[in-house]
Structure 1
């Protein structure tokens, strides 16, 4: 397998400039080049790494976190505890993000119920929706 940068971008969801940047900062290792054109060609191992990095990035991991992950890979089992901690910490951050998103979703749904009640002329349902939205807003961090 040999993918062009366009194909790799489509497969991973990263933009071409992001792929170039990740190569530049050492996250991808050596990216092969087409001998005749000099264009990047992503082999199977590099493509697998890009897909793994895309997963980490979509889970909110920073470039620094991805760099730590990549730096620990060659250490194998000797870095197992550090890898576990890296992933556990990121999982906690993601769980916190999910809880914040759930609150925002509840807010949007509450506002939907409020406006729906207003459209129907249902003052009781509108008041309940406003009370629910107010409780949700109290949970938001400033």
Structure 2
């Protein structure tokens, strides 16, 4: 079944502009067909590929790497090892980003705990408030930012 660019935009969640960009960048697994009047025609498989492509892109894969993956896939059998290597390299980058974000989340959760406890004790005004009268004496002024 043929789909218009509007239908593909609706199904994929991408804008018409983004679909044109993906085509221009050579990111479709199959060439986009055209009617005699120049309108783009897509297949349901194109929507499935776009789902993969957008996940690769949202996970930080550069357009050049996606393009390389597409080119390998277009060539067909015989380059599966190259595709696997490309995907494994990206997988490692994603895992590293997850590790970094997990560390960030740990810091945020720690700070949330500090603020939550201070709010519950009614001492929130002592957190990161160098002008609080007790800040210097108690060390709960600027120094507490790292707490």
Please tell me the TM-score bracket, short chain as reference. 0.7 to 0.9
**C-alpha displacement at 1:43, in angstroms?**
1.2
Pairs within 5 Å for 1:1-142? 1-28=1-28, 29-35=30-36, 38-121=38-121, 134=146
TM-score (norm 2): 0.71
> How many equivalent pairs are there?
126
* 1:69–1:83 contact (8 Å) kept in structure 2: yes
SS in 2 for 1:14: coil
46-55 or 65-74, which deviates more: 46-55
Report runs of 4+ in structure 1 exceeding 4 Å deviation. none
RMSD, aligned CA: 2.5
* Cα 1:75/1:4, change in 2 over 3 Å: closer
Structure 1: gaps of 5 or more residues: 127-132, 136-142
Shift of 1:113: 0.9
**Residue 77 of structure 1: SS of its match in structure 2?**
coil
> Normalising by structure 1, what TM-score?
0.74
Moved more, 16-25 or 72-81: 72-81
Q: Which runs of 5+ in 2 are unaligned?
A: 128-144
> Are 1:12 and 1:54, in contact at CA under 8 Å, matched by a contact in 2?
no
More helix per residue: 1
Question: Counterpart of 1:129?
Answer: none
**Change in CA separation of 1:34 and 1:81 when aligned onto 2, cut-off 3 Å:** same
Q: Contact (CA 8 Å) 1:13, 1:54: kept in 2 or not? A: no
Tell whether the 8 Å contact from 1:61 to 1:90 is kept in structure 2 after alignment. Answer: yes
- Per-residue deviation at 1:134? 4.5
